[in-house]
């Protein structure tokens, strides 16, 4: 199972919005609504930010939102804050009882 495709890096200034894409195929992202997003700060464990494409766990700010169109899922962070600087990973069910992550995107807050 090939990793989902994410941009290696994105950046934005405080207060701005950024969108991170996650492109797969009809066998994973496009075929199921089991897309999740994780935030990982250096040396730390990942943290769930979005699940089931667009649902937010309790405690995650509503500045974080998720969506999907066809084979591409997206994570949008609005009102960027310094603490949002981290690596972000998407994840999807890939059929045949397999999961697949994206390669990760480094978000820099300028």
Binding-site member from 15, 99, 108, 110 for other proteins (CB under 8 A) = 99
Binding status of residue 2 toward other proteins by CB under 8 A: no
Binding-site member from 7, 10, 25, 47 for other proteins (CB under 8 A) = 47
The encoded tokens of residue 25 equal 């195929």
Strand, helix or coil at 74?
strand
Rounded to the nearest whole angstrom, what is the least distance from the CB of residue 47 to other proteins in the complex?
7
Count CA atoms closer than 13 A to 56's CA, side-chain side: 13
Backbone torsion region of residue 63, taken as left when φ is above 0, otherwise alpha when ψ lies between -120 and 50, otherwise beta: alpha
As a whole number of angstroms, the distance between CA 85 and CA 14 comes to: 10
By CB under 8 A, what part of segment 58-87 binds other proteins?
Answer: none
Residues in touch with other proteins (CB under 8 A): 1, 3, 34, 36, 38, 40, 45-48, 51-52, 57, 89, 91-93, 97-104
């Amino acid at each position: 199972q090939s990793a989902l495709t994410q941009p290696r890096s994105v950046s934005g200034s405080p207060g701005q919005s950024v969108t991170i894409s996650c492109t797969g195929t009809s066998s994973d992202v496009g075929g199921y609504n089991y897309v999740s997003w994780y935030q990982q700060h250096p040396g730390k464990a990942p943290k769930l930010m979005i699940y089931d494409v667009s649902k937010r766990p309790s405690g995650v700010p509503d500045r974080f939102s998720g969506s999907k169109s066809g084979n591409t899922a997206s994570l949008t962070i609005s009102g960027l804050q310094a603490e949002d600087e981290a690596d972000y990973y998407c994840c999807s069910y890939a059929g045949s009882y397999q999961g697949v992550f994206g390669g990760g995107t480094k978000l820099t807050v300028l």
